[in-house]
Amino acid sequence: MNELTFFTYPSCTSCRKTKSWLKANSIDFSERHLFRETPSSKELLEILSLTTEGLDEVLATRSSTFKNLNIDVNELSLSEVVKMIVEEPKLLRRPILTDGKKLVVGYNPDALKGIASRKEPLKLSS
């Protein structure tokens, strides 16, 4: 993963805002539909290795999908959690952007500035 990979879901507001920001700033990225092109186990492990808060950073713990599981993820092994996410990608927060060295989860313009490779100077956004 050296190019910027953008895991997204089209009806997600944060995903649309992030995509607009990337385009407005002429950022090259490879877009992947989070539910149709789910990250592989290997990709998820790479993503998790880039987190500062571990699973809490990428799991959508407030989602009904997560709540309906009625489990404590802290009691699961890493491989069990990864398998669960691959099988049910709605458990991931959206969007997820990574270049293999840095990670941005959710719409965060300040963090996007740190991960983006630019063709031209960044535009200020509100």
State the Cα–Cα distance between residues 106 and 34, nearest whole angstrom.
13
* 15 a catalytic residue: no
Rounded CA gap, 29 and 92, in Å? Answer: 20
CATH code for the domain of 109: 3.40.30.10
* 7, two tokens: 């895991």
Residue reference for tokens 């049910």? 88
**What's the CA gap between 47 and 68, in Å, rounded?**
24
Average pLDDT across each block of 10 residues of the chain; the chain has 126 residues. List them in order. Answer: 86 96 92 95 95 91 89 91 94 95 93 71 53
Residue 91 lies in a domain: yes
Whether 69 maps to a domain, the answer reads: yes
Question: How many beta carbons lie within 10 A of that of residue 28, not counting itself?
Answer: 11
List 1, 9, 12, 122, catalytic entry = 12
Cα(49)–Cα(43) distance, integer angstroms: 10
Number of Cβ atoms within 10 Å of the Cβ of 37 = 13
| Domain with 80 in it | 3-117
In a domain, 21, yes or no: yes
Q: Which residues pair with residue 27 across a beta bridge?
A: 118
Q: What is the pTM of this model?
A: 0.85
The residues pairing with 96 across neighbouring beta strands, listed in sequence order, are: 7, 105
Report yes or no on 123 lying in a domain: no
Q: 17 burial class (0-12, 13-18, 19+ CB within 10 angstroms)?
A: middle
Report yes or no on 124 lying in a domain: no
Whether 51 maps to a domain, the answer reads yes
Tally of domains within the chain = 1
User: Are 86 and 119 in contact, with CB atoms under 8 Å apart?
Assistant: no
